[in-house]
């Protein structure tokens, strides 16, 4: 907006310069303003008066023909609003036909002069130079309320077009939101389309933000070539997203889809029917494709598990992991056949790491799992762990492998179960001691804990 020099006005409210300094404004030249504030061409004297205890005002010389572009002024200047018998009022350089007063409400905290927006809109009534006057989002935000008050439709449309076309800061977006209720429906449609999602009925029940999150996760895990960087970026978006329930729903869906994909490919690889069917070369090629696809999707699944645990929304992941008896059986078949080592050597590590992350979330209390889930988790995956132990080379003494960490975690979960269940599962853990007696203090502690509990005396006649 144009800057202009303002002087404080005395209570007399005069409109011409005077020696005592009590009068109003020195405004820019009207030579290029279409008659704006030009005493020689004006037939309207408009006083802008601050609606405030401080008696501040300015007088502007304006042209009625320009003012009538505003429906407010067109009505105000029409014959039915004129006082009977009122004639022209002499003014400097011409005949002033109308003297009008317009109250201006001061906005607390606004850094600009309280009259700036009104002066800018009144100037536009004369020049119609919207592209020159609207140079920033703040210009448009300040002009729209004034243009709405004066019913200056062309100015409103120009401001809305500008706002729709340029970026906003977060503070400016709040300002746009505050203005929308004061605009007509047709005036606000373009702005609403930018800040509000289009509500479309969807059979899957996802909201628009959740649909966006789902698309981002899908891109991070499947579509984008630079997967590691995109995964880190999407992980940050998920951490910062304000609705934890939305994140939970989106991650649950992605997890279930990814888990089914892994099961499908691994099931095809482990299927005895598939192994005996077809030409040897063709069968081997298909086996490679199936196992490779299983590994790729297992990587995506592991990333999803980590995100769910990190955000403490892993209840579905833990529950589903405990129900994978068929997947566990297919993994045992796969690992007992050495062919997988040449096709997908990273599969075993992914399986153990993902299972360890799930089990660790249970032990740490990050995910509070019911007793049946804890028991099924250990019972279902302990056979897979035992098969993997026989494949992986032992670590040097004093160093822990992820397999040993999973052993310790399973033993910790077993310690949370009733005595009868822990008795059954501990006996399946004896293979943890087959390498070196010095490398299994976790197993020794687990059995000592069980025996200590088993030897406790009854409680007041209640059997332990």
| Tokens describing residue 239 | 């951490």
pLDDT at 17: 34
pLDDT at 316: 96
CA 285 to chain centre: 43
CB-based contact 376:388 (threshold 8 Å): no
The position carrying tokens 């005895």 is 272
Measured CA to CA, the distance from residue 363 to residue 355 in angstroms comes to 12
What's the pLDDT tens digit per position in 424-435?
999 998 888 756
| Tokens describing residue 387 | 């098969």
pLDDT at 86: 42
What's the pLDDT tens digit per position in 45-91?
999 988 777 778 899 999 999 999 999 999 988 875 555 444 444 44
CB-based contact 106:51 (threshold 8 Å): yes
CB proximity list for 194: less than 8 A, separation 6 or greater: 164
The position carrying tokens 């144009």 is 2
Residue 334: CB atoms within 10 A of its CB come to: 22
Nearest to 221 by CA among 210, 234, 236, 212: 234
- To the nearest 10°, report the CA torsion of 81, 85, 89, 90: 150
pLDDT at 209: 87
pLDDT at 335: 93
SS3 track for the chain? CCCCECCCCCCCCCCCCCCCCCCCCECCCCCCCCCCCCCCCCCEEEEEEECCCCCCEEEEEECHHHHCCCHHHHHHCCHHHCCCCCCCEEECCEEECEEEEEEECCCCCCCCCCCHHHHHHHHHHHHCCHHHHCCCHHHHHHHHHHHHHCCCHHHHHHHHHHHHHCCCCHHHHHHHHHHHHHCCHHHHHHHHHHHCCCCCCCCCCCCHHHHHHHHHHHHHHHHCCCHHHHHHHHHHHHHHCCCHHHHHHHHHHHHHHHHHHHHHHHHHHHCHHHHHCCCHHHHHHHHHHHHHHHHHHHHHHHHHHHHHHHCCCCHHHHHHHCCCHHHHHHHHHHHHCCHHHHHCCCHHHHHHHHHHHHHHHHHHCCCCCCHHHHHHHHHHHHHHHHHHHHHCCCCCCCCCCHHHHHHHHHHHHHCCCCHHHHHHHHHCCHHHHCCCHHHCHHHHHHHHHHHHHHCCCCECCECC
First to last CA, the chain: 84
| Residue 401 to residues 62, 344, 380, 435, Cα–Cα distance (Å) | 86, 20, 21, 13
pLDDT at 83: 53
Specify which residues 179 forms β-bridges with: none
CB proximity list for 70: less than 8 A, separation 6 or greater: 125, 150, 151, 152
Residues of the chain with pLDDT under 50: 2-32, 84-93, 109, 200-203, 276-277, 464
Q: Please, how many CA atoms are within 13 Å of residue 458, restricted to the half-sphere of its CB?
A: 4
Measured CA to CA, the distance from residue 65 to residue 42 in angstroms comes to 10
């Amino acid at each position: 907006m144009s800057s202009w020099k303002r002087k404080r006005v005395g209570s007399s409210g005069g409109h011409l310069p005077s020696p005592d300094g009590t009068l109003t404004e020195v405004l820019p030249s009207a030579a290029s303003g279409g008659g704006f504030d030009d005493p020689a061409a004006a037939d309207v004297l408009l006083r802008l008066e601050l609606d405030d205890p401080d008696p501040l005002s300015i007088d502007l010389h304006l042209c009625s023909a320009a003012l009538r572009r505003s429906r407010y002024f067109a009505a105000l200047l029409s014959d039915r609003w004129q006082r009977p018998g009122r004639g022209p009022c002499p003014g400097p350089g011409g005949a002033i036909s109308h003297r009008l007063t317009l109250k201006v409400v001061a906005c607390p905290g606004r850094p600009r002069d309280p009259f700036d927006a009104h002066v800018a809109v009144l100037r536009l009534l004369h020049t119609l130079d919207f592209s020159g006057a609207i140079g920033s989002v703040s210009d448009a935000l300040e002009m729209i309320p004034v243009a709405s008050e004066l019913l200056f439709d062309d100015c409103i449309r120009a401001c809305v077009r500008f706002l729709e076309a340029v970026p906003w800061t977060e503070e400016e977006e709040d300002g746009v939101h505050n203005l929308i209720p004061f605009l007509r429906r047709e005036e606000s449609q373009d702005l609403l389309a930018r800040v509000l999602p289009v509500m479309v009925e969807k059979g899957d029940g996802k909201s628009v933000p959740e649909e966006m999150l789902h698309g981002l996760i899908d891109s991070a895990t499947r579509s984008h070539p630079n997967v590691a960087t995109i995964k880190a970026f999407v992980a940050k978006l998920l951490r910062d997203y304000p609705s934890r329930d939305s994140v939970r729903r989106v991650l649950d869906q992605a997890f279930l889809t990814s888990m089914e994909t892994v099961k499908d490919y691994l099931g095809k690889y482990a299927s005895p029917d598939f192994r005996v069917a077809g030409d040897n070369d063709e069968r081997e090629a298909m086996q490679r494709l199936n196992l490779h696809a299983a590994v790729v999707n297992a990587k995506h699944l592991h990333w999803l598990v980590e995100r769910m645990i990190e955000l403490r929304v892993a209840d579905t992941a833990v529950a589903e992991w405990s129900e994978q008896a068929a997947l566990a059986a297919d993994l045992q078949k796969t690992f007992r056949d050495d062919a997988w080592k040449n096709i997908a050597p990273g599969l075993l590590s992914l399986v153990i790491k993902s299972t360890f992350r799930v089990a660790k979330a249970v032990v740490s209390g990050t995910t509070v799992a019911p007793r049946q889930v804890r028991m099924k988790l250990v019972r279902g995956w302990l056979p897979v762990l035992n098969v993997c132990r026989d494949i992986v080379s032992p670590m040097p003494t004093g160093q822990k492998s992820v397999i040993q960490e999973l052993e310790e975690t399973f033993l910790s979960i077993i310690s949370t179960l009733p005595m009868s269940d822990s008795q059954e599962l501990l006996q399946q853990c004896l293979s943890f001691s087959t390498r070196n007696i010095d490398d299994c203090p976790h197993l020794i502690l687990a059995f000592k804990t069980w025996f200590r509990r088993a030897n406790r005396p009854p409680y007041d006649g209640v059997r332990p």
